[in-house]
């Protein structure tokens, strides 16, 4: 007990450490209990981070902040309008078409599985295939019931989406317009002995801003290039598959592997074992390779380098705690943990000679 007591006194006797721990606990509890009802506000903060860099560059060109905010906000509204008018109906239409074609896809997949024992009798047994078919059928049945239940509840979520689309742009506008007022108001709640907390925050603030802007550009570029390639190769559901590919970059390593399944399934059913199917898969592999080896190092060169194991653990942990936003901010949150570890006061206790 003396060892634990001395450790606590050594590490938590500093008021700055107490303030930092209190701020972390408050933020953690706040997001867990109020994250869902305040989703429009949290989303607005992310969008404000994204747009602030553009406003700062306009201010460097001697554009007044009020005018810069107005111009950037109008462009943001125009982009949202295009997405709602063009992208959302396209996605809805292709999801509906895919749902209607799903039985044919399942039948094609089952026929493919049933033919495997004849093609590879020494490697695959018929009993193994039958067991796999039963498992797949049961899984598809459970998935269908889940989708039906969500379809019923989607009527009630339509109102929430409408509120979100109205409230979020308004919050973004005022966060950008009154940034100085909001920051000044928040500073009055910061304790005097908070140098450690502010030091950690300044490190993470720069990382989050760079990460949000880079990730948004990565989603746009990967999704757009995938759409162009899929349309050129005449792949069905190009908008849907390109959107999935774009958002797959939110989950490092795992996202690219997961999206490979629907792309391969659609390509195989549409083209079969042909060169067209090979071109689809090769093109998708090239896009992922360029994203991982060229785009990511270029966009996130200012973000603290983290080991792949740390990134995967962060995605699993924060995604399990906060869902989508936990996955989206997994790398900045891992950076926060790393910044805390690096900024934590390291006290060296001199050895004492005991007689």
| Tens digit of each residue's pLDDT (9 = 90 or more) over 14-67 | 566 666 677 777 777 777 777 677 777 878 887 888 888 888 888 888 888 889
Mean pLDDT of the 273-300 span: 85
How many whole angstroms from its chain centre is CA 284? 20
For residue 275, the enclosing domain spans 194-344
Summarize pLDDT for 206-227 with one digit per residue, the tens. 677 777 777 888 888 999 999 9
The pLDDT value given to residue 300: 66
Region of 57 please: left (phi>0), alpha (psi -120 to 50) or beta: alpha
Rounded Cα–Cα distance for residues 86 and 150 (Å): 24
Residue 139 domain flag? no
Confidence (pLDDT) at 29: 76
Asked if the structure places residue 268 within a domain, the reply is: yes
The alpha carbon of residue 156 and the mean position of all alpha carbons in its chain are separated, in whole angstroms, by 25
Residue 237 pLDDT > 80? yes
- Rounded Cα distance, 275 and 281, in Å: 10
How many structural domains comprise the chain? 1
Give CA 181 to chain center in angstroms.
Answer: 30
Percent of the chain past pLDDT 90, that is, above it, reads 9
Residue 187 belongs to some domain of the structure: no
Quick check: 149 pLDDT over 50? Answer: no
pLDDT tens per residue, range 299-316? 665 555 566 677 777 777
Residue 340 lies in a domain: yes
Q: How far is CA 268 from the centre of its chain?
A: 28
Residue 31, in any domain of the structure: no
> Per-residue pLDDT tens for 315-353?
778 777 777 667 767 777 777 777 677 666 655 444 444
Rounded to whole angstroms, the Cα distance separating 72 from 190 reads 31
Is pLDDT of 111 > 80?
no
Q: What is the model's pLDDT at position 312?
A: 74
| Residue 22, in any domain of the structure | no
How big is the CA angle at 209 (ends 206 and 214), to the nearest 5 degrees? 120
What does the pLDDT read at residue 291? 85
300 vs 175 pLDDT, higher one: 175
In angstroms, how far is CA 81 from the centroid of its own chain?
22
Both tokens assigned to 199: 């030091």
Closest CA to 292 of 333, 338, 245: 245
Q: Is residue 51 part of a domain?
A: no
Average pLDDT over residues 105-134: 73
Q: Is 327 a member of any domain?
A: yes
Residue 291 DSSP symbol: I
pLDDT for the residue numbered 342: 67
When pLDDT is cut at 50, 70 and 90, the band that residue 143 belongs to is low
How much is the mean pLDDT over the chain? 76
What the block records as the tokens of 89 is 């109906």
* pTM exceeds 0.75 for this model: no
257 vs 248: CA distance, rounded Å? 9
Residues 177-190 have a mean pLDDT of 81
The lowest-confidence range among 57-66, 104-113, 130-139 is 130-139
């Amino acid at each position: 007990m003396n060892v634990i007591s001395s450790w606590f006194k050594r590490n938590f006797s500093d008021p700055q450490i107490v303030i930092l721990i209190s701020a972390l606990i408050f933020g953690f509890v706040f997001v867990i209990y109020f994250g869902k009802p305040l989703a429009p506000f949290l989303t607005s903060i992310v969008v404000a981070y994204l747009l602030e860099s553009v406003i700062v560059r306009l201010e460097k060109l001697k554009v007044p902040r009020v005018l810069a905010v107005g111009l950037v906000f109008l462009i943001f509204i125009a982009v949202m309008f295009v997405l709602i008018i063009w992208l959302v109906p396209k996605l809805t239409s292709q999801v509906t078409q895919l749902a209607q074609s799903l039985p044919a896809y399942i039948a094609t997949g089952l026929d493919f599985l049933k033919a495997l024992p004849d093609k590879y009798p020494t490697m695959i047994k018929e009993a193994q295939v039958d067991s796999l078919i039963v498992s797949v059928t049961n899984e598809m049945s459970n998935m269908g019931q889940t989708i039906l239940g969500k379809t019923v509840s989607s009527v009630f979520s339509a109102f929430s989406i409408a509120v979100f689309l109205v409230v979020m742009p308004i919050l973004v506008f005022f966060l950008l317009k009154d940034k100085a007022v909001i920051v000044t108001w928040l500073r009055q709640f910061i304790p005097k002995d908070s140098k450690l907390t502010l030091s950690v925050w300044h490190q993470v603030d720069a990382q989050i801003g760079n990460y949000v802007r880079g990730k948004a550009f990565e989603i746009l570029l990967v999704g757009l290039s995938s759409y162009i390639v899929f349309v050129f190769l005449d792949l069905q559901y190009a908008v849907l598959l390109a959107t999935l590919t774009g958002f797959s970059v939110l989950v490092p390593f795992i996202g690219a592997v997961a999206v490979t399944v629907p792309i391969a399934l659609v390509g195989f059913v549409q083209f079969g074992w042909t060169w067209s199917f090979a071109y689809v898969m090769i093109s998708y592999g090239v896009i992922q390779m360029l994203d991982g080896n060229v785009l990511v190092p270029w966009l996130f060169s200012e973000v603290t380098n983290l080991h792949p194991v740390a990134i995967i653990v962060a995605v699993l942990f924060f995604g399990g705690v906060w869902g989508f936003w936990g996955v989206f901010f997994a790398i900045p949150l891992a950076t926060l943990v790393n910044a805390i570890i690096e900024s934590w006061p390291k006290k060296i206790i001199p050895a004492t000679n005991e007689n």
